[in-house]
Amino acid sequence: MRALKAAALAIFALLPAVGAQAQDPSARASSLELRGGVLAHDVPLLWSGFQLEKGVDINVEALFGQGWQVLGGTLRPALGASISTAGYTSKAYLDLRWEVDLTSRLFVGFGIGAAVHDGKLDPFWADRKALGSPVLFHIPFELGLRLDERQSVSLFFEHMSNGNFANYNEALDNLGVRYGVKF
């Protein structure tokens, strides 16, 4: 898990530098986009208001390929991780993400996928979630603003739950901001 945290932090730290070195902004959409940011870990008052974990997560994500045009948007695979800086539940996920441009600069994205995590499965921990299963559904939502052809900033929300397929399902919700750059 330490190697995963180190890799995530390195990618996150390099994002602004890579964005500054991006090639010709008039170039066609790229086949790789990296996004990363800071998320409030386990935000209350949504679907995960049981035993709350606290802290901040570092989120890193790669979106692959040109995508497929579906229902006016683009469908692409996304591979990412949210790492808890406070030692609570961290996760890695693989999603199918649908993203649509609302205007020339404003976009919205939705996804569905699976996450594996290092959290607790049962309720016998005073300060940890009882997530019930080592593999959970991962459901992200993103509202973003394109700064130019290659860079974006966004508000990112992710929900992680077993969908009541296990005995315990306290769920986990993260919310924060991200920066993205296309290559």
CATH number of the domain where residue 67 is located = 2.40.160.20
Q: What is the pTM of this model?
A: 0.82
Which among 163, 179, 170, 5 is positioned nearest to 82, based on CA atoms?
5
| CA end-to-end span of the chain | 27
Tally of structural domains, the chain: 1
Percent of the chain with pLDDT strictly greater than 90: 71
Domain that holds residue 9: 2-182
Q: What's the rounded mean pLDDT across residues 143-171? A: 95
